[in-house]
Structure 1
Amino acid sequence: MEYADGENTPDSNKMNRKLSHIKKRVSQEFTKSSKCRKWVTWLIHLVGVTVPYAAILVGAIYLDECPANRNIPMHLIVTGVVTAVLHLSTSIDAYRKLSYLKDDEKPAIFTLTSLFLFIWMILGCVWVFGIFVPDNDYGMWNPQGFGYCHKRLYWFAFVFNLAFLVSVVASFLLCCCVCNLLCNITILTCLCYQKTKKGHGDEDASTPVQV
């Protein structure tokens, strides 16, 4: 049986039904997970509101309580301020559509601020982990005798920077998994398309031409 150009063959109809079924399943799973995504969004929003202000508060209270490295309390204060400003700006931009920033200026501002925050956090990790001494019950003492750092201040900064490192590694692994998944889906789609096309070519070659 011959098919005109542009006419759907049984194989193509079968493939279209499979693709439609896959799209339907993906849409259903996406809808089911909307509630979970909503809770995750609110959790991230809550963390974004509380953690920066906690860092500012701890850094301000113990500003002069870390002679071992006076950059640590300042690191917490600057990180908290920049993170709070970023969170507030993105929230206002998402819900109220800022009018005092042009569309071509917002990406540059947010990108530069995020880059500064990333570099600042790396420096904070160097400062905090650089004076780490285990098994100390009365604060962190530098082995070279450079001074004392308040225990609450140090451990807050330690956990704060450790969470940053974990989030960076987790984000990197998630991006790798997503890229790998997209590549596999693309490869499978291409293979299915080539197989279907080859099957149509073999069928056309085996079909006798009627005169």
Structure 2
Amino acid sequence: MTDIDVIQSIRSKPQALASSKMVVCVIPVAQIIIGAIYLDDCPRQHYIPIYLIVAGVFGLVLAALSCQPSGSTPEDGTPNPLSRVCATWNSLTAVFLVCWFIAGNVWIYSIYKPNYIKNTTSEDPYCDRTLYLFAFWTTTLVYILLALSLVGGCCSLLCCCLCGRADADDNV
């Protein structure tokens, strides 16, 4: 079974598509909840809970926009304007999320190992442990997934090149 067959089988089964969208929405919902609960609990870097809330909301928006029909031409051959509008908003949301992710990296990693103790007499402001570690690991998870996808893509490319050479030798 090829990758195209897998994608087509997922698209043909709306339950599989809906359940995969639900899994993708878990992290953004958790970001919104954690950011809202601990909104005032990081004086060291007060943008971290805001970062989580905005990233969660726009993550959900991106997931909702990807649910829209992607066919650019219906059966009668006329272009579908809704498809173009959704594609434009999808692209704008993705660009915003990349920029917001970069800003979040600065806010999170610049205070690495913050003071977690709320009632301290030191001049170093605190940041709630749950809030900071959640933001830290969700951001780090993006890098881990990016690295895994790059390694997987390179392995796939290597396999395609090797299999392509084997097929060319067989035809000679």
**TM bucket normalised to smaller:** 0.7 to 0.9
Name the residue aligned to 1:191: 169
In the alignment, the residues of structure 1 paired with residue 165 and residue 97 of structure 2 have an alpha-carbon distance, to the nearest angstrom, of 38
1:150-165 to structure 2, matched below 5 A, reads 150-165=128-143
Q: 1:132 to 1:145 in 2, by over 3 A?
A: farther
Identity among equivalent positions (%) equals 30
The counterpart of 2:25, out of the listed 39, 46, 49, is 49
Q: 1:130 to 1:78 in 2, by over 3 A?
A: same
Bigger-Rg structure (1/2)? 1
The counterpart of 2:110, out of the listed 130, 133, 141, is 130
Matched to 1:138, the amino acid is I
CA contact (8 A) 2:48 2:135 kept: yes
Mind listing any 5+ residue stretches in structure 2 that lack a counterpart?
Answer: 75-79
Q: Deviations over 1:180-210 (max 9, x none)?
A: 22222222222222x2xxxxxxxxxxxxxxx
In the alignment, the residues of structure 1 paired with residue 38 and residue 140 of structure 2 have an alpha-carbon distance, to the nearest angstrom, of 20
Name the residue aligned to 1:78: 54
1:181 aligns with 2:159: yes
In the alignment, the residues of structure 2 paired with residue 166 and residue 83 of structure 1 have an alpha-carbon distance, to the nearest angstrom, of 18
Q: 1:185 to 1:49 in 2, by over 3 A?
A: same
RMSD: 3.2
TM-score, normalized by length of structure 1? 0.61
Q: Deviations over 1:30-84 (max 9, x none)?
A: 78xx79xx89867643332222111111112212211111111111011000000
CA contact (8 A) 1:67 1:146 kept: no
In the alignment, the residues of structure 1 paired with residue 132 and residue 16 of structure 2 have an alpha-carbon distance, to the nearest angstrom, of 29
Name the residue aligned to 1:204: none
Q: 1:42 to 1:175 in 2, by over 3 A?
A: farther
TM-score, normalized by length of structure 2? 0.72
Matched to 1:101, the amino acid is L
Q: 1:46 to 1:174 in 2, by over 3 A?
A: same
Name the residue aligned to 2:100: 120
In the alignment, the residues of structure 2 paired with residue 173 and residue 145 of structure 1 have an alpha-carbon distance, to the nearest angstrom, of 44
CA contact (8 A) 2:43 2:125 kept: yes
Matched to 2:151, the amino acid is L
Mind listing any 5+ residue stretches in structure 1 that lack a counterpart?
Answer: 1-25, 196-211
In the alignment, the residues of structure 1 paired with residue 167 and residue 144 of structure 2 have an alpha-carbon distance, to the nearest angstrom, of 34
Matched to 2:58, the amino acid is V
Q: 1:173 to 1:158 in 2, by over 3 A?
A: same
